Amino acid sequence: MERFLSDRKKKILQAIIEAHIAEGAPVGSKFLSQDKQLSCSSATIRNEMAELEALGYLEQPHTSAGRVPSERGYRFYVDALLERYRMTSDEIEDIRRSLNDKLHELDDILSDASRLASSLTNYTSIAVRPRPASVRVERYEAMYVDPRNFVLVMLFHGGKVKTKYVRVEFDIEAYDLQTICRLLNARLINLTSEAITISLICSLEREAGHASPLVSPIVKTVYEAMSELDGGDVRVQGVNRLLEYPEYADVDSMKSMLGMFEKKDALLDLVAADADSDDVHIYIGSENTVDVMNNSTLVYRKIKRGGRVVGAIGIIGPRRMNYSKVIETINQLAEGIDYAIGDASDRK
């Protein structure tokens, strides 16, 4: 149906959305008639606004003549009417200086980018380290400490290393540990947690012989390490900025948002569900699968290294956010992160 909107309707819809984004109040025909770019009388604008409301692009929150954009109106604005925001030289310099002054770990780069995104846009920002598609151990090493204690070292796919101190309730010898370590490297490498089944554990115990009592505590430790790496992470910056918008004035709604930020699983699931494209993803209102975000918009872009998704940077704010600035900010930050971690890889 969007293709049947006249140019005048598109201009009026764009003017209403941008005025509502700026002021947060319903927009009336009298206000729009002062816009020289529209060149329309108040009566003509009122008629067009009524038709846009009938088509589902506008809503009338109460009996006043003012209208606000609907979710459908915002979606059409983002898809068809949005004009690119041009960042100032100072904003671009802030991004470059923050991300490129020195080499950081990826976690630090994402956190810096998230902090800067919140500052530049005045919305809440998120930095996401997604759950890996699969966590697999590539090699095991074990170090004997004493008859009841040893250290298990696990080298995971992707280079991550986990070291776990393990205490058992029975005496072991150093050669028991060597035996079980050889067995782990023969039978328990490159497997996901789902592939480590009860039958496989029983088979390991049979093959371990006198070292079989070690199988159960070691497998439990491996599961724990896998779960830690498989959890993903979401870091949130500028939560207090939500309080500046009347959309979050309701105490219960704000508590729900804070609960979502604290639990993080909903955001991790949402980011993981998307295709690993290089585009900016925009979820407006009910397009979010997270119920508490029905009155919010999430904008984010994934970060890749070596063709693999290693993180995401995003913005959460009211539906009437400044989409043009947010999208450009996320793109600039993502490109800066790509450059920074690319440089890091080249130096290795």
Q: Are residues 217 and 251 in the same domain?
A: no
Q: What is the predicted pLDDT for the residue at 217?
A: 93
Residue with more model confidence, 133 or 120:
120
| Mean confidence (pLDDT) of the chain | 87
59 beta partners: 68
Residue with more model confidence, 166 or 266:
166
Phi then psi for residue 69, to 5 deg, are -70, 145
pLDDT in tens, 50-70: 999 999 999 988 766 689 999
Q: Are residues 299 and 151 in the same domain?
A: no
Query: Does residue 89 contact residue 95 with C-beta atoms inside 8 Å?
Result: no
Mean pLDDT, rounded, for 72-81: 95
Query: Does residue 188 contact residue 230 with C-beta atoms inside 8 Å?
Result: no
Q: What is the predicted pLDDT for the residue at 347?
A: 38
pLDDT in tens, 123-148: 999 998 877 667 889 999 999 999 99
Q: Are residues 7 and 46 in the same domain?
A: yes
CA separation, residue 291 to residues 76, 256, 260 (Å):
22, 9, 10
Residue with more model confidence, 77 or 233:
77
Q: What is the predicted pLDDT for the residue at 51?
A: 94
pLDDT more than 90, % of the chain? 51
Q: What is the predicted pLDDT for the residue at 348?
A: 41
Mean pLDDT, rounded, for 72-79: 95
Q: What is the predicted pLDDT for the residue at 285?
A: 93
> Of 185, 200, 230, at which residue does a domain stop?
230
| Distance linking the first and last C-alpha atoms of the chain | 53
Mean pLDDT, rounded, for 275-291: 87
- Strands (E) in 137-253, as ranges, are 137-146, 149-156, 161-167, 233-237
Range of the domain at 149: 137-230
CATH code of the domain containing 246: 3.30.450.40
Q: What is the predicted pLDDT for the residue at 15?
A: 94
Mean pLDDT, rounded, for 260-269: 83
Q: What is the predicted pLDDT for the residue at 205?
A: 92
Q: Rg for the chain (alpha carbons), in Å?
A: 27
What is the widest separation between alpha-carbon atoms in the chain?
92
pLDDT in tens, 207-261: 999 899 999 999 999 988 887 777 778 899 999 999 999 989 888 888 889 988 8
CATH code of the domain containing 211: 3.30.390
Q: Are residues 113 and 158 in the same domain?
A: no
> Of 196, 230, 264, at which residue does a domain stop?
230
Q: Are residues 122 and 173 in the same domain?
A: no
CATH code of the domain containing 40: 1.10.10.10
Q: Are residues 64 and 7 in the same domain?
A: yes
Q: What is the predicted pLDDT for the residue at 237?
A: 94
- Sort residue 76 into left (φ over 0), alpha (ψ -120 to 50) or beta: alpha
pTM for the model:
0.73
pLDDT > 60? residue 72: yes
Q: Are residues 238 and 318 in the same domain?
A: yes
CA 310/CA 95 separation, integer angstroms? 20
| pLDDT band at residue 346 under the 50/70/90 scheme | very low
| pLDDT band at residue 310 under the 50/70/90 scheme | confident
Q: Are residues 126 and 204 in the same domain?
A: no
Across 123-127, 196-200, 339-343, the highest mean pLDDT is recorded for 123-127
pLDDT > 70? residue 104: no
| pLDDT band at residue 12 under the 50/70/90 scheme | very high
Q: Are residues 239 and 143 in the same domain?
A: no
pLDDT > 90? residue 292: no
Phi then psi for residue 41, to 5 deg, are -75, 165
Q: Are residues 241 and 120 in the same domain?
A: yes
Across 88-92, 109-113, 203-207, 309-313, the highest mean pLDDT is recorded for 203-207
Q: Are residues 194 and 313 in the same domain?
A: no
Query: 3-state SS of 15-28?
Result: HHHHHHHHHCCCEC
Mean pLDDT, rounded, for 291-302: 92
Q: Are residues 94 and 161 in the same domain?
A: no
Q: What is the predicted pLDDT for the residue at 133?
A: 64
pLDDT > 70? residue 150: yes
DSSP 307: T
| pLDDT band at residue 100 under the 50/70/90 scheme | low
> Of 230, 252, 275, at which residue does a domain stop?
230
Closest CA to 104 of 93, 118, 115: 115
Total number of domains in the chain? 3
